[in-house]
Amino acid sequence: MSNAHAKLSAASFLRGAIVPLLVIAFWQALSSSGLINPVVLPSPVAVVVRWWAYLLPAEPFDPAQSSWFLWALSGEMLTDAWSSLYRVVLGFAVGAGLALPLGLTMGTSDRVYGLMDPLLQVLRPIPPIAYIPLAILWFGLGNAPAIFLIAIGAFFPVLMNTIAGVRHVDGIYLRAARNLGAGRATMFLRVILPAATPYILAGARIGIGTAFIVVIVSEMIAVNAGLGFRILEAREFMWSDKIIAGMFTIGLLGLAIDIAMNRLNNHLLRWHRGLDS
C-alpha cells in the first residue's frame, strides 16, 4: 500500500512539474534568441546563478571568527528570509491572538456581535497597505510598523472564519448537549469550539498567507532588511536577475509555510476526517 501511495505521489509530482518546465524552457529559448534585453528579462540560467550567489556567504570561512554552521547561514538570502519569516510569525501571532477571542465572543453572543459587527464591516474592506502612512507615523521605521501591518492582514481572516465557525455549529449538537445537562462552559469547550475548529484553522491558513503578502510590501517601505527590501534595492540598481531570484525565494518560503499549515490542519483535524469517512 505504501509503494502504491509513493508511486501515486511521484506521478502527481511529475504531472505538476510539466507546465513549470515548459514555461522555463520557453523562457530560456526566448532569452537565448536575443529578442529580449537581458536587463529587462534575464535567462533562467542567469537567475539561478544570481540566486546561488545570493544564497552563499559573502565572506570566506574563517574558523577564528565563527563556526562553519553560523558561517553557512550568514548568506544575504538566508538573513533576509529569516527577517521576513520573523516578522510574519510575530505579526500573525499578534493578529490571530486578538482575532480568536473576539471571534469566539462574537460568535457566541448576539449582543456582542450586534455591537461590534458594524465597525468591523467598515474596517474589513480597508487593505492593510492603506495603513502604511499611519503605521510609519505611529511607529516610525523598523519592525514595529511592519508587524502592525501584518497583524492587520492576519486579523480579519481569522476573525471572520472564527465567527462563521461558531455561528454555524449544527443545532442538533447544541440541543443534544442541553438535553444531556451540559452547562455553558461544557457546551463551549466540548461542543462549540471543536465544531468551529475547521473554520478557525482555515482562517489561520488564509491569515498567514495574507501576512506573508503584507510583509513583502511593508519591507519595501518601512524596514531596511528582508526579502521585500532586497527586491526594492535590486530594482534601484536594475539587477533584474536578483529581483527574480528574490521573487523565487519568496515563492519557496510561501510554499513551505502553506505546506506546514496544511499538514498542521490535517494533523489537528484527524478526528474530523474520521467522522466524515
Mean pLDDT value across residues 118-125 = 90
Flag whether pLDDT at 1 surpasses 60: no
Q: Among the listed ranges 115-124, 134-143, 207-216, 220-229, which one has the minimum average pLDDT value?
A: 220-229
Please state, in angstroms and rounded to a whole number, the distance separating the CA atoms of residues 117 and 126: 15
Query: In the predicted model, is pLDDT for residue 177 greater than 70?
Result: no
Confidence band, pLDDT 50/70/90 cuts, at residue 16: confident
Reported as a single tens digit per residue, the pLDDT across 232-277 is 888 888 888 888 888 888 888 888 888 888 888 777 777 665 544 4
Helix axes 76-108, 227-236, angle to 10 degrees: 130
Contact 153, 128 (CB under 8 A): yes
Rounded Cα distance between 82 and 217, Å, is 16
The pLDDT tens digits of the residues spanning 133-176 come to 898 889 888 888 889 999 999 999 999 999 888 887 766 666 67
Cell of 80: 533576509
C-alpha cell at 52: 546561488
Helices and strands, counts by H and E, the chain? 13, 0
User: How many angstroms separate the CA atoms of 115 and 145, rounded?
Assistant: 29
> Considering the entire predicted model, what is its pTM?
0.80
d(CA 19, CA 26): 11
Residue 131's alpha-carbon distances to 89, 143, 211, 217, in angstroms, are 20, 15, 14, 12
CA 206 – CA 68 distance, rounded (Å): 38
Summarised one tens digit per residue, pLDDT across range 184-198 is 676 666 667 777 888
User: 177-195 burial string, b = 16+ CB within 10 Å, else e?
Assistant: beeeebeeeebbeebbbeb
